[in-house]
Amino acid sequence: MSANTKIVITGGPGTGKTSVIDFLKENGHQCLLEISRQVTLEAREQGIEQLFLTDGLLFSNKLLEGRIQQHKASEALTGTVFFDRGIPDVPAYMNYAGDTYPSYFKEACDTYRYDKVFLLPPWEAIYTSDNERYENFEQAQEIHIHLKKMYEDCGYSLVEVPVGSVEERAKFVLSHL
């Protein structure tokens, strides 16, 4: 049995997840960071400009593997552990893209569980695109719907984090543990 509490902070692109995670980390909390940018950058080093667009299933497999590794690594930690996205994010994005995927994606969601999930809603005022985030705001809103549905389909009750400063949002998360 785990000696920790696993907390996911999720939401569509550009919702402020990483800023909240960074704030929590800077304030002494254990945080496991988002891995999609790392997967994208590694693919670029191998000459694949945008792996997500070139081979969506390979990209998603790499994300799934990385998130499972994070989940397993968290077992060695004690106390509260925050995750910047969780395993259900992977099939949620695949559903958004209209991709089919093997059953082991859903099985991983059922096997590697989290104790609580916080969902950050789309927030146009802070939304920006960059080299790894190519979606526009309307697409980010659609992804939010798929994330919410996937986590609910996996049996999670989501806690929606209200908009506000990074500090206010982090305090909200901490006060709802």
Within 75-136, residue ranges assigned H as helices are: 89-97, 104-111
pTM above 0.75, yes or no: yes
**Total domains present in the chain:** 1
Contact 132, 43 (CB under 8 A): no
Q: What is the mean pLDDT of the chain?
A: 89
Please, which pLDDT band fits residue 1 given cuts at 50, 70 and 90?
very low
Task: Give 130 or 171, the one with higher predicted confidence.
Answer: 171
Residue 176: burial class (beta carbons within 10 Å; 0-12, 13-18, 19+): exposed
Residue range 44-75, pLDDT digits in tens: 677 656 655 566 787 888 889 999 999 999 99
User: Which range of residues forms the domain containing residue 134?
Assistant: 4-175
* pLDDT average, residue stretch 104-128: 94
CA distance 111 to 106: 9
- Domain with residue 74: its CATH number is 3.40.50.300
pLDDT at 106: 96
pLDDT at 128: 77
Please, which pLDDT band fits residue 158 given cuts at 50, 70 and 90?
very high
pLDDT at 173: 98
